Amino acid sequence: MRRIRWSTALLCLVVSCRVAPDKRDAAGRLEVQWTGSDRGQISGPATAEWCAPARLLEIRAIQGDTGVALALYPAETLAAGRYPVMDPVKAESLPPASGLALRWLTQTTVQGFQGDSGTVDLERSISGQISGQVRARARSVVDTQRVEVTGTFRDLTVRPGRNRCAAPSDQSEKHAEPGDTGVH
């Protein structure tokens, strides 16, 4: 079930899912650059959604045909700290961990990448907003290309997850976060 959820999120990015960030989150931004087999960047408004049943924070930004998503899986509650970037299937089952998905359109194809190493450092302000840095390596989902990814996100307000947030079948309700965001 978790593999399907992460695959769906990655697929959404790869097939050019264009969900505009919530206007209330306009202050929150994400800036990411990548170098390696290809180079590029994305800089713009971002969203942060907490899915309590899955204990997952999803941070994403989409700008035109380019998109990036970070998935943070805390051990207990969402807390400031370092979240190792892993293959998405491992990240879901070995918290604290994080996953990374990145895609962009070239003249002939959609390039999709997923993180396999690195870190996401998460910080929390007194107001409850989150900020942080990402430094990771990512590999192509279709061939052997690799990229180095660096970036920052700042001033994101964590909102409850929307339609895509569903309880995984192997999680009991005792692990769900309280009604608030549970950010500590």
Nearest to 120 by CA among 161, 158, 78: 78
pLDDT at 35: 97
Domain ranges of the chain: 2-166
Structure tokens at 9: 């999120």
Rg of the Cα atoms in the chain: 15
User: How, if at all, do strands 47-51 and 158-160 pair?
Assistant: parallel
| pLDDT reported for residue 8 | 41
Greatest Cα pair distance, the chain, in angstroms, is 48
CB 167 within 8 A of CB 59: no
Per-residue model confidence as pLDDT tens for the chain (184 residues): 444 444 444 434 433 344 444 444 457 999 999 999 899 999 999 999 999 988 999 999 999 999 999 999 999 888 999 999 999 889 989 999 999 999 999 888 899 999 999 999 999 999 889 999 999 999 999 999 999 999 999 999 999 987 667 655 544 444 444 444 444 4
